[in-house]
Amino acid sequence: MLAPKKGKPSGGRIDHFYDASDEAELGDSRDDPADLRGDRDDTVKDQIRRLSYDEAERDNSQYVDLRTHFSLDKVAELEGKWYHSDASLQWLKRFIYEMKGTRMPQNSWCEPLSLRLGQAANSWCRQLPKKTQQRWSLLSEAWLGWDRSQFDQPARTRYYSRRRNENQPICDFLIRLNEYARTDKIKYEKGGADAADHVQQFLLNCGDDGIMDLLYPLQLPDIQRVEPIIIKKILGEKRKKQRDRLVASRVGESCATMVLSA
């Protein structure tokens, strides 16, 4: 059994969660609490599923709030580990250890999780159904089931295979494409060898003919020049829709007034 850390009052079982979480990222579960370790043959996915299953979740009254403050600083931001299956699973395992120590209902773990995700993982999370985003059992299964085999491909093959998903906001696709480029060591930022090609890659795969017609003739040299033009276009379209609704509303009111006065 691990001795409590110096300078920290012993909290019984909760102390074990902290000690175990220190090793979780390295995949070493030797110091995990005995009831959480399971069989030696368990995979990390098996461990995560067992940790995520809690009969007490059926009755939230069984939870005792032992800590009134939970610091997310104990869990490092996910960042690039999202793209690597083993590292992302170890990260999730550590996160679960920390949340177990709070005694919070499991569905309350979803929001803290979203706050520690990197940009790419957060983008993936936002595309999940609302119900999945708000229920831990569904969210953790979606995490375990997400196929990362594509990231075993050569870096440039992965990058050039990116396409905008159906109904995906164009700004979200731009953020994701930048993240893919950064992860795959594409020199896309201003002055980089791949900067102009990155702009072309975005335009050819954004699936928006209006954006393509607007930007392609400009032959912009880097993606930073693209972003403000897209945002300006989106805001312009939003304002136009608001004006159209306002005009339609006023026309409707005018017609109603004419009918009443007739």
Amino acid identity, residue 60?
N
Can you tell me the distance from the alpha carbon of 6 to that of 109, in angstroms, rounded to the nearest whole number?
Answer: 28
Q: What is the pLDDT of residues 72-127, one digit of tens each?
A: 666 777 766 676 677 788 888 888 888 888 888 889 889 888 888 877 788 788 88
Residues 18 and 134 in one domain: yes
Q: Which residue has the higher pLDDT, 30 or 91?
A: 91
Residue 77 sits in the same domain as residue 131: yes
Q: Please list the alpha-helical segments (H only) found in 8-129.
A: 13-24, 34-37, 44-52, 85-102, 110-115, 119-126
Co-location of 137 and 211 in the same domain: no
Q: Is residue 118 located within the same domain as residue 73?
A: yes
**pLDDT top residue among 131 and 167:** 131
Q: What is the residue range of 109's domain?
A: 13-149
Count the domains in the chain.
2
Boundary-marking domain end, from 119, 149, 179: 149
Please report the pLDDT score of residue 152 as a whole number.
Answer: 55
Average pLDDT on 204-209 reads 88
Same domain, 32 and 108: yes
pLDDT for 11 equals 39
> What pLDDT is recorded for position 18?
34
Task: Please report which helix (H) or strand (E) contains residue 181, including its range.
Answer: helix 170-183
Q: Which of 80-84, 172-176, 184-188 has the lowest mean pLDDT?
A: 80-84
Sign of CA dihedral 29, 34, 36, 39: positive
CA distances from 239 to 132, 160, 169, 170, 210 (A): 32, 34, 17, 18, 17
**Mean pLDDT for all residues in the chain:** 72
Query: Is the pLDDT assigned to residue 252 strictly greater than 60?
Result: yes
Distance (Å, rounded) from C-alpha 59 to C-alpha 105?
Answer: 9
pLDDT cut 70: percent of the chain above it? 63
Q: How far apart are CA 67 and CA 64, in angstroms?
A: 9
0.75 surpassed by pTM: no
Q: How far is CA 256 from the centre of its chain?
A: 48
Find the mean pLDDT for residues 33-52. 60
Do 180 and 218 reside in the same domain of the chain? Answer: yes
**Could you tell me if 70 and 144 lie in one domain?**
yes
Inside any domain, residue 250: no
Examine residue 80 and state whether it is found in any structural domain, yes or no.
Answer: yes
- In Å, what is the CA distance from 223 to each residue of 84, 203, 229? 26, 10, 10
Q: Which amino acid, 37?
A: R
Distance (Å, rounded) from C-alpha 23 to C-alpha 20? 6
Return all residues near 178 (Cβ < 8 A) that are at least 6 apart: 188, 223
Collect contacts of 121-127 with beta carbons under 8 A, ≥24 apart.
121/78, 121/82, 121/88, 123/172, 123/175, 123/176, 123/179, 124/82, 126/172, 127/165, 127/168
Q: How confident is the model at residue 136 (pLDDT cuts 50, 70, 90)?
A: very high
Report whether 120 contacts 76 (CB < 8 A).
no
